[in-house]
Structure 1
Amino acid sequence: MSFTSLSFEFFPPRTEEGRRKLAITRKQLSQYQPEYFSCTYGAGGTTRAGTLQTITDILNDGVAAAPHLACIGASREEMISLLQTYKDMGIHHIVALRGDIPSGVGFGHQGLRYANELVGLIRQEFGDWFHIEIAAYPEFHPQSRSAEDDINHFVRKCQAGADSAITQYFFNADSYFWFVDEVQSRGVNIPIIPGIMPIASFSKLARFSETCGAEIPRWLRLKLQSYADDTASIKALGLDVVTEICDNLLQQGAPGLHFYTLNQAGLVSTICQRLGY
């Protein structure tokens, strides 16, 4: 089976040991010939230096890199400066996000506030140099006032000049296909890549999902809970469930897969192998 797009996402390591481990992870995942590796960007730019270092490491590996860029609270000048740095590095791919507001910090109405503003800024200042990827939420952003409001915001980001989108992870493929159909009915035809989260730990998955608004189906939640601390059984079930979801998505026309690796290669590698890599 071949993908139109295959990509892997990392977060910036906090230590030199973490950086060395991530280098091993990248080497393991490079064998699947991904379109790019991406790297997240902390709330309020808190990992700016770490993101830049990780992107540099990815480029040194000879793999295309896609830095995440979150605009909340940042000035136009700050964003343009960082984008120029990435352009000078030869990067052509940006994941443009609003980003989370750091705890205890209120930005009011200063600077950029929404991802569509960042997308528009990139297009205005850099033309078509960057491929701009945006976020999509098939089960809706947890801070959205309504489903309609969330859909409208996604359409605004597309109209501002986005080239493609990556979704929040999900475990119900119907939500993805419904979302794609809904935005296409409103004239949006950019590729929407499903975001995929391997399951290594139920407690961590539940915590992540609560924060980002991703639904764990009741049957899956109860089954994972029944394994308690049996990590091997949790991973085995997770591999079966996530691989089946990926296969279903691709068979029904999804344009690729984007894996949230959590800087680990094992489960992601197994899924890719099961899918035919």
Structure 2
Amino acid sequence: MSPAALAPVPPPEPAPLFAHTCGDIGVSFEFFPPKTDAMADTLWRSIEMLAPLHPRFVSVTYGAGGSTRERTHATVERIVRETHLPAAAHLTCVDATRGEIDEIAREYWDIGVRHIVALRGDPPEPGRPYEAHPDGYADAAALVEGLKKVAPFEISVACYPETHPQASCPDADLDNLKRKVDAGADRAISQFFFSADSFFRFRDRAAAAGIRAEIVPGILPVSNVSQTRKFAGLCGAAIPAWLEDKFEGLDELPAARQLVAATIASELCGQLYAGGVRHFHFYTLNRAELAYAICHLLGVRAKAVTA
């Protein structure tokens, strides 16, 4: 037998993480209403950059206690008026009566909004426990039920792969999600996370609990660790030590931070894609570049925007 015949056969080369993406991805993007003219310019540049990706929808957040009510409405109305994008308006229960919330919903319907992201909402004062308005909707499940009576909205709600920090236990948190879905929610958008396994475990538990609505992973590309840490405290997301380590020493190197952020978020999306996920929701923080780059890796390509 020749020496060549005895040579070990090298293992097959593993395929690159995004080699098998084939353009079968649906994406959506979240923005927040701008406070200044400069912030508005940044937001609209981001919308213009992401619009050719033809997202399923774009959503606009609503501040604690309705603190951005007018700015949210104005931003959503401008998206409806000036773009082809399906706009989803966030709406919360905090510090408002049922009548006030129903009126806001009717105003959205009248300007052409057909999608609401229905949330319980955070108290206007950090650290203050949530209290339902005596004449308002008690929670997100009640809000969903009420909105469906106002108009046949498409409704998204929030879910928490690593459990909402105010939930008594994971099962109670899952029960709350089921109440929202049973009330009429069409999908649940997850808070951000950094472990694909945590999302898959949550998705499996939701299915076992009889939740049939679509569950879409929320992706937050991290470029500011301290800001992300603050967000994580509000929604119960775990920030692994390895992630903080990757940003160590990059405070004065914004371009390097962007590259690291894109790499980490892209790998997470690749793992989710390999596990069967085909829809992603990006928390853009009104910056388009990271979300655009990740979408590109996932095979989402720009197409001409039609009027």
TM-score by length of 2: 0.85
Following the alignment from structure 1 to structure 2, what is the Cα–Cα distance between the partners of residues 237 and 226? Answer: 12
2:241 corresponds to 1:218: yes
Q: Distance in 1 between matches of 2:68 and 2:28?
A: 21
* Separation (CA, whole Å) in 1 of partners of 2:209 and 2:236: 24
1:130 aligns with 2:126: no
Deviation at residue 226 of structure 1 after TM alignment: 4.8
2:260 pairs with 1:237: yes
Identity over the aligned pairs, expressed in percent?
A: 39
- Name the count of aligned residue pairs: 275
Which TM-score applies when normalising by structure 1? 0.93
Counterpart in the other structure of 1:159: 182
What are the superposed Cα offsets for residues 20-62 of structure 1, whole Å, 9 maximum, x if unpaired? 2211110001121111110001111111100011101111212
Given that residues 66 and 95 in structure 2 are in contact (C-alpha distance below 8 angstroms), is that contact kept between their aligned partners in structure 1? no
CA contact (8 A) 2:106 2:150 kept: no
Aligned partner of 1:198 in structure 2 is: 221
1:95 and 2:120 aligned: no
Paired residue for 2:64, among 43, 49, 69?
43
Q: For structure 2, list consecutive stretches of 5 or more residues without a partner in the other structure.
A: 1-21, 301-307
**Corresponding residue number in structure 1 for 2:168:** 145
Larger Rg: 2
Cα distance change, pair 228–63 in 1 and its aligned pair in 2 (3 A):
closer
Contact persistence 1:192–1:254 (CA under 8 A): no
- Aligned partner of residue 165 in structure 1, secondary structure: strand
Q: Aligned AA for 2:87? A: A
Q: Structure 1 segments of 4 or more deviating over 6 A?
A: none
Give the alignment partner of residue 175 of structure 1, picking from 183, 192, 198.
198
- CA deviations 1:142-168 (Å, max 9, x no partner) are 111111211111111111111101000
Is there any run of 5+ residues in structure 1 with no aligned partner, and where?
Answer: none
1:28 is matched with which residue? 49
What is the letter of the counterpart of residue 182 of structure 1?
R
RMSD between superposed Cα atoms in Å: 1.7
Aligned residues of 2:64 and 2:123 also touching (Cα < 8 A): yes
Once the two structures are superposed, residues 189-220 of structure 1 have per-residue CA deviations (whole angstroms, 9 ceiling, x without a partner) of 11111100012122222222233221112222
Q: Distance in 1 between matches of 2:25 and 2:146?
A: 28
SS at match of 1:124: helix
Deviation at 1:91, TM superposition (A): 1.3
